[in-house]
Structure 1
Amino acid sequence: MLQAIGLTSMPRRDRPPAVDDLTFEAPPGSVTALLGPAGAGKTTALRLMLELEPGRGITYFRGRPLHRIAHPPREVGVLFGDIPGHPSRTLRGHLRMLCAAAGVPASRADDLTRAVGLTGLERRRLGTLPIGADRRLGLAAALLGAPHTLLLDEPGAGLSVSESAWLHELLRAHAADGGTVLYTTEDAKGAARNADRVVTLAGGRLVADQGATEFARTRLRPRVAVRTPQAARLAAAVTQEARAARRPVEVVAEGGSRLSVYGSDCAAVGDTAFRHGVPIHRLAAETGDTGPAASSPEGNMSGGATGAVSSGAVPPPAVPAPRDAADGGSGRVRRPARSPLRPLRYEIRRLLGVPSTPLVVAAVLLVSVALALLLGRGGRAALPAVLAGWPAISPLPPAALGAGLLGAFSFGEEYRYPALTSGRGAVPRRPGLLFAKLAVAAVVALVLGAAVVVADLEALRFVYGAELIAVPRNWPTLCASWLGLLVGCAWAGVLGAGVFRAAAAGVAAVLAVPVAFVPLLQKALTGPSVRSAAGLPARLREFAGPQWSPAADRWLSGGLRVLGQPAGVALSLTLTGLLCAYVLTGLRRKARW
């Protein structure tokens, strides 16, 4: 049972709210259509039910509001428009990634692929799917958590007749299993044919809440849809001839150049337009919802018409108030948890499911090897710079840029292709998702750094021979600096993209460290009054009390030397600032709700 009580969106500037005091229910075991023309508030109503839109009122899903449901994807399946997945991701990879987000086994993706008729398209890229397959994929994504309730926004838009019939058969099967189905549509005739109940909206308010049979009997009438640049002139001519012939004809202005003529046919309207020299751009016989405009004084332009059919409106259903119904009166919406239930698995599949990841890794390895060979040929560059492929003119080595780019993609792709959020709301900013992205970015950076050093070393040995490569004595410190640089760049990319909602901002945050911060810190840290922290490990040991081994002293000293370098200080300050900005922007967005 879905119960919507008093849904009201925030009023817009100088305009009434898109949804105003909407109350209705969608019973289980049936299909309910939310009917209305474009701009009637159907999509806003769904967003209010899902707590994606600020406003008043509350929606109960089997007696619980969404923010009281531990795992929303397992209670409510949602389809809003097109699938917002990465166009280069495969169909199977996209569903398996969403399985991790919903906390269901990956085998569920294969089961639903067969259930919605997508067998054989598992390896097709999302960007190459036809609209019918795209809509089937959206239904599969909505059904991943085996939800009781389905909320679908215009699910049949753009589908062929056969695909639309298949869609409604699937919705009917879900309802037959005891589920609740609510979908929006502008097609009144289709709503009467495919739904059990029809809830009609106009101007954001409830017009009628009826069974499909009653709706068809009271609100559907044959009409002639006309589009002409001289709508007012044609309306007056049709009205005048209807009066003269004493025929019950009603003309309703639909806005702009459109008219709806009730009680006539295409031939009669076309003859009238021809006699009065009115051009016609469209003339078609339809069966449509009378709507509130048919009974309003402003919309009724007929003289001898019989009048509008009664709207058939019924009072809102008597909805019992559950125990926590008072939550709906505060005007504040508490958003449910939408972080992936298995964030680490989700992030791994997100990273490995797009071709950009192997392309970036391959490009980094090729550029690093080429630069290492060029630097090694000259013989003047230091061995660490040669192995890193880091010429003096470059602000960062290719591996650091690649790690930062992959880190920036982690949040950049979420905002560009928001697959996690069913209503295209903001990307979840819970700690679990952030920690998963930071952990995966760090592991990728470490692997990339080791692969670059090994590839460059083997290339140098193959081209110039092993005798030219001597291992420096301070190699542990160099390795720590190298890996710390890569991890820091990767984290800067993650946090920069998370704060500014774009992958380009993450890359800019990575480049800001060597270009802007390091030169300033070099001047600040190399002055004559700068003191040394050489005795800090011993002082820390005295302060902590317990004694540790000399090896721990060496590791701590090495770590402090790495962090004390200008690049280390700059990275630390950058990461601290980005993390604080990430937390503050998240708190500010929560305060708005």
Structure 2
Amino acid sequence: MIEVKGLTKHYGPTVAVDDLSFTVPAGQVTGFLGPNGAGKSTTMRMILGLDKPTSGSALINGKPYHQLAHPLREVGALLDARWVHPNRSARAHLQWMAASNGIAKSRVDEVLRLVGLSEVAGKNAGGFSLGMSQRLGLAGALLGDPPVLLFDEPVNGLDPEGILWIRRFMQRLASEGRTVLVSSHLLSEMSQTAEQLVVIGRGRLISDSTVQEFIDKSSESAVRVRSPQLDALRSLLIARGLTVREDGESESGPALLVVGATTEVIGAAAGENGVTLFELSAQRGSLEEAFMKLTGGDVQYHAEGMEEVMGGAL
């Protein structure tokens, strides 16, 4: 378990993290989200003892990082995939890490096999692609078989197959009872990977909830409905006090969007009045939509409209 309590970090007059508190439980993947400059990396660095907090604390299984006797056996982290001597082979890099924490040398080949780098274990890491470097970083995080894992943008540089692989891998680690905290800008991927979300903006906590709770509280629920008796259905639903909008034309024909209603309510109303339905489907908001709505005011840098930037040349 990771416990962050009142964590604050000042860099001169700049407040990078502001009285931040949250808990990352074991047994599930927890996503750590926020706009650029929100303080995610600074928070992860303080959890790992790489930055000293101005105030507050970050505990790993009840202890600050510097009190862990064998850190790699208790917490593994992937923060910077390029953090490796370019002239060391992948195997030599991991052997050096293992020796520093009293980890058996045999574990090196085990983790290389786990991340799919066995065939290039003898090659210098400086020649690795970003995706290969990510896998080497992941191998380093797993080296001590730790119960707590932190990953910062772990899918950077990976192809779709690699992204799918690491998603399933993180979920498997969590299913083994480990604590897994992962930061990512790929919101669509995070919606498929994480169960819990911690969302911050300008160093402050915005939300700590399940993925579905975050989406539900930040986006409008609606039901899409098609019928050969669309006008009658529209009048029926409006008479019941429901908000009805046109959903425009599509290959399947015109449809209505009914806001704030369930499929059960609409289906029952149609059935009671003999209205035939061709489609009745709940429209769920996306993590991207919810994220933009909740964090829009906390984005550090806003892009100008393209026309303004190009002086109206477009």
TM-score (norm 1): 0.38
Write the letter of the residue equivalent to 1:132.
G
Counterpart Cα distance in 1 of 2:2 and 2:18: 18
1:42 aligns with 2:40: yes
C-alpha separation in 2, matches of 1:215 and 1:169: 22
**Which residue is equivalent to 1:10?**
10
Cα distance in structure 1, aligned partners of 2:157 and 2:116: 18
Q: Distance in 1 between matches of 2:287 and 2:26?
A: 32
- What CA distance in whole angstroms lies between the structure 1 residues aligned with 2:85 and 2:296? 45
Deviation of 1:83 (Å): 3.1
Structure 2 unmatched runs, 5+? 222-244, 246-285, 303-314
How far the C-alpha of 1:117 sits from its partner, in A, is: 1.1
- Equivalent residue number for residue 27 of structure 1: 25
Query: What is the match of residue 131 of structure 1?
Result: 130
Alignment deviations for residues 447-501 of structure 1 (CA, whole Å, 9 cap, x no partner) = xxxxxxxxxxxxxxxxxxxxxxxxxxxxxxxxxxxxxxxxxxxxxxxxxxxxxxx
For residues 56 and 213 of structure 2, the distance between their equivalents in structure 1, rounded to whole angstroms, comes to: 28
1:187: how far off?
A: 2.8
Aligned equivalents of 2:88, 2:296: Cα separation in 1: 48
2:81 aligned counterpart, secondary structure: coil
Q: Supply the distance in 2 between the matched residues of 1:77 and 1:220 (Cα, whole angstroms).
A: 35
CA distance in 1, matches of 2:86, 2:220: 43
Q: SS at 1:137's partner residue?
A: helix
Instruction: Name structure 1 gaps, 5 residues minimum.
Output: 223-246, 248-284, 300-593
Map 1:474-485 onto structure 2 (within 5 A): none
**1:79–1:152 CA contact under 8 A, matched in 2:** yes
Q: Secondary structure, in 3 states, of the residue corresponding to 1:19? A: strand
- Kindly report which structure 2 residues correspond to 1:220-299, keeping only aligned pairs within 5 A, or say none: 287-288=288-289, 289-292=291-294, 294=296
More strand by share: 2
d(CA) in 1 for partners of 2:294, 2:212: 19
Tell me the C-alpha RMSD between the 2 structures. Answer: 2.5
CA contact (8 A) 1:83 1:137 kept: no
CA distance in 2, matches of 1:34, 1:71: 25
Q: Which amino acid aligns with 1:192?
A: S
Q: 1 or 2 for the larger relative contact order (CA 8 Å, sep ≥6)?
A: 2
CA distance in 1, matches of 2:295, 2:169: 34
Structure 1 residue 35: Cα displacement: 0.3
Provide the secondary structure at the position in 2 that maps to 1:145: coil
> Are the aligned partners of 1:192 and 1:198 in contact in 2 as well (CA < 8 Å)?
no
The Cα of 1:218 is off from its aligned counterpart by 2.7
- Give the 3 Å change call, closer, same or farther, for CA 219–204 of structure 1 in structure 2: same
Kindly provide the CA deviation profile for residues 37-95 of structure 1, in whole angstroms up to 9, marking residues without a partner as x.
11110000111112221221112222222232211111110111223222121111111
Distance between the aligned counterparts of 1:135 and 1:108, measured in 2? Answer: 18
Q: Deviations over 1:160-189 (max 9, x none)?
A: 222111111111111111100001122333
Question: 5 Å matches for 1:456-535?
Answer: none
SS of alignment partner, residue 64 of structure 1: coil
Checking the alignment, whether the CA contact within 8 Å between 2:197 and 2:208 is kept in structure 1 is yes
CA contact (8 A) 2:7 2:21 kept: yes
Q: What secondary structure is seen at the aligned counterpart in 1 of 2:198? A: strand
Q: Is the 8 A contact 2:78 2:138 kept in 1?
A: yes
CA distance 1:68–1:86, change in 2 (3 Å): closer
Q: Give the whole-Å Cα distance in 2 for the aligned partners of 1:99 and 1:11.
A: 34
CA 1:133/1:10 → structure 2, altered by over 3 Å: closer, same or farther?
same
Q: Distance in 2 between matches of 1:82 and 1:108?
A: 20
- The match for 2:264 is none
* Aligned length, in residue pairs: 236
Q: Distance in 2 between matches of 1:133 and 1:220?
A: 37
Q: TM-score normalized by structure 2?
A: 0.69
Which structure has the highest helix share of the two? 1
- For the residue of structure 2 that corresponds to 1:209, the secondary structure is strand
- The Cα shift of 1:219 comes to 3.2
Look up the match of 2:196. 197
Describe the superposition over 1:555-576 as per-residue Cα deviations: whole angstroms up to 9, x where unpaired.
Answer: xxxxxxxxxxxxxxxxxxxxxx
Matches within 5 A, 1:68-147: 68-147=67-146
Checking the alignment, whether the CA contact within 8 Å between 2:34 and 2:295 is kept in structure 1 is no
**2-structure distance, mates of 1:150, 1:199:** 16
Match of 2:310 in 1: none
**Structure 2 CA distance for partners of 1:287 and 1:33, relative to 1, 3 Å:** closer
Residue 159 of structure 2 corresponds to 160
